[in-house]
Amino acid sequence: MKLEQKRESVATLPKFFARMGKYSLVAFVLVIGSVSIGAIGYHFLGHLNIIDSFHMACMILTGMGPVAEMKTDEAKLFSSFYALYSGVAFLSITAVFFAPIIHRVLHILNVELEN
């Protein structure tokens, strides 16, 4: 997914919206994948039902915190590593989603300064 270089003109609105769609889709796939990993782990290792596993994974991924106590050592280890992963994943997914917007704003500012 190529962005404009410094010497190129600013992308048209239709091209920008198409780019936002692509980046949003990538971010959405990353969210679904991350929540799936968490829900499966909490279901099998934490012995939670699938709805509670999904809820727990969503809460951890967004930084809200745990909603169920992990009773086994395996579940506690999974929960710990998933929480570490979630911190990085949430920031990375946010960066992927906002990259085209930030690039466009900075590119517009740069183009206006040169003219």
- Residue 79 makes CB contacts below 8 A (sequence gap 6+) with 42, 46, 60, 66, 70
Q: pLDDT digits over 91-106, tens only?
A: 999 999 999 999 999 8
Domain encompassing residue 51:
22-105
For residue 77, the tally of other CB atoms under 10 A from its CB is 12
User: Helix, strand, coil: what percent of the chain each, to 5?
Assistant: 75, 0, 25
pTM beyond 0.75: the answer is yes
* 11 phi/psi in degrees, rounded to 5: -65, 150
In a domain, 35, yes or no: yes
In a domain, 115, yes or no: no
Query: If we measure between CA atoms, which residue out of 33, 91, 44, 40 comes closest to residue 63?
Result: 91
Q: pLDDT digits over 27-37, tens only?
A: 999 999 999 99
Residues of the chain with pLDDT under 70: 1, 111-115
Q: How many domains does the chain have?
A: 1
In a domain, 112, yes or no: no
In a domain, 12, yes or no: no
In a domain, 66, yes or no: yes
CATH of the domain at 57: 1.10.287.70
